[in-house]
Amino acid sequence: MSASELTASQPAGSTPDRIAQAIAQHRPGYALAAPFYCEPAFFEREMQRVLLHHWHCVGHDSQLPEPGDFFTTELCGESLIVVRGADRNVRALLNVCRHRGSRICTEPAGRARGGVFVCPYHAWSYNLDGSLRGARQMPERFDRSAHALKALHTRVIEGLVFVSFADTPPGLEHVEEALAGSARVYGWAQARVAHRETYPVNANWKLAVENYMECYHCGPAHEEYSRFHLYARPAALNREADERVRARARALGLELREVDYWGLKARPGQEAADSLRSALAAGALSGSEDGRALAPLMGAFADYDGGVTFFDVGLTSNFLAYPDHGLIYRFVPRSVNRTDMEVIWLVNGTARAGVDYDLERLTWLWKVTSVADKRIIELNQQGITSRYYEPGPYAPMEQHTASFLEWLLTELR
């Protein structure tokens, strides 16, 4: 039975009491029960109570080099226009005309002609800040100021563009601190996007995020990744190598810090963030097919330190940094059993494709890994639809996944 078939077979209109009961019955240290992954009512509760209230990365500042440059993206069931204004500030505007609700921008990226967005339906036009510029043949008493495009809270931190739908979103002080010891050291504010790839995954968004946050599966599922990444092994086996990488970073004068801000109950009002460091196998320099370097060094790196940094922000934004390139992982929930997984590769802002790096070599590892992840996440969803599915216990290497779910359940309560 497919996930969609199971969803269709569920009784309509699951009550809040039923959702609360499922949350209360969750056994800490175990996976979630099937309704969390299969029933639309649970997905809608997560959307309304959690996803719409947190920050999400939608891309990188380099995608908008000049005023008027924009790209469109999907998030929380909404289409967004992310644009650089005439004042050079980055804004996220709802891609919904204030006249009759038509989509305004239909292209994935471009430049607003003459610094104006024009609705293709009735030609209402909007400035780059979302203010209504023109509304054809409207009566004299019509108030243009009351019909600007709706805007989201938007922040650019170390080159990463974050947005939130919340009226009062969580604070970003902890995120700024986490990124100062990770993205800033890697020079992400001066980076540029080398490539983007989207993988549609027929599975619940939580399964995609849970998979990303543990490497218990890496040995069986990711031979290419496990060859050089010691994170694929139990932590107890990596202590000596991880300390070697820390010492190497210190010798290079790098302040790469590991932080854990997932405990939101201890930090009310703040967005969650964390970061951790891990060693590559001896002699490996970067995340490549052969362990060799891929592109010019970034940020504060004058040499390779033999390590890699993982960091996360909120529920759907995950990042991975090597000394010579980086990756943004965006998880975009679309429905109870459909998620987009977007991967964005970053390189030094001065690096030239075909000269300073080979795009196929640069993207090889995380294309192979993402295709494999898509497969195992979808298999996970298919298994959970079984009437015989029972949540099993997490292994020690899945501690971050377990912590993530406990945080999510706290938010849902």
DSSP string, 338-401: EEEEEEEEEEETT--BTTTB-HHHHHHHHHHHHHHHHHHHHHHHHHHTSTT--PPBPPGGGHHH
CA distance 115 to 395: 54
Q: Give the pLDDT band of residue 199 (cuts 50, 70, 90).
A: very high
Amino acid at 306: G
pLDDT on residue 252: 85
Average pLDDT, the chain: 92
Which domain does 182 fall in, by range? 170-412
Is residue 23 predicted with pLDDT exceeding 80?
yes
Q: Are residues 138 and 253 in the same domain?
A: no
Quick count: other Cβ atoms within 10 Å of Cβ 327?
21
Angle at which helix 359-384 crosses helix 205-212, to 10 degrees, equals 120
In a domain, 86, yes or no: yes
Do 136 and 262 lie in one domain? The reply is no
Report the C-alpha gap between 182 and 389 in whole angstroms.
39
Choice between 315 and 236, residue whose per-residue pLDDT is larger: 315
Question: Cα-atom radius of gyration of the chain, to the nearest Å?
Answer: 22
Q: What is the pTM of this model?
A: 0.92
Same domain, 135 and 255: no
Q: Which residue has the higher pLDDT, 1 or 28?
A: 28
The answer to whether position 161 is within a domain reads no
> How many domains, the chain?
2
Measured CA to CA in angstroms, residue 54 lies from 133, 165, 278, 330 at distances of: 31, 7, 27, 14
Final residue belonging to a domain, choices 154, 180, 202: 154
pLDDT bin (cut points 50, 70, 90) of residue 191 is very high
Per-residue confidence at 259, pLDDT binned at 50, 70, 90?
A: confident
Residue 362 confidence (pLDDT) above 60: yes
Q: What is the pLDDT of residue 3?
A: 34
Please check whether residue 27 lies inside any domain of the structure. no
Q: How confident is the model at residue 234 (pLDDT cuts 50, 70, 90)?
A: confident
Same domain, 196 and 293: yes
Query: Helices 40-49 and 399-412 sit at what angle, rounded to 10 degrees?
Result: 80
Contacts by residues 118-121 (CB-CB < 8 Å, ≥ 24 positions apart): 121/97
Q: What is the pLDDT of residue 11?
A: 45
372, 247: one domain:
yes
**Which CATH number goes with the domain that contains 399?**
3.90.380.10
Q: Are residues 302 and 389 in the same domain?
A: yes
Structural domain includes residue 2: no
Looking at the structure, do residues 150 and 176 belong to the same domain, yes or no? no
Q: Is residue 6 part of a domain?
A: no
> Does residue 13 lie within any of the structural domains?
no
Rounded to an integer, what distance in angstroms lies between the CA atom of residue 173 and that of residue 165? 18
Residues 304 and 194 in one domain: yes
Identify whether residues 83 and 229 lie together within a single domain. no
Are 202 and 272 part of one and the same domain? yes
Q: What is the mean pLDDT of residues 374-402?
A: 96
- Torsion angle of C-alpha atoms 217, 220, 225, 231, degrees rounded to 10: 50
Q: Are residues 184 and 76 in the same domain?
A: no
Please report, for the domain that includes residue 115, its CATH number.
Answer: 2.102.10.10
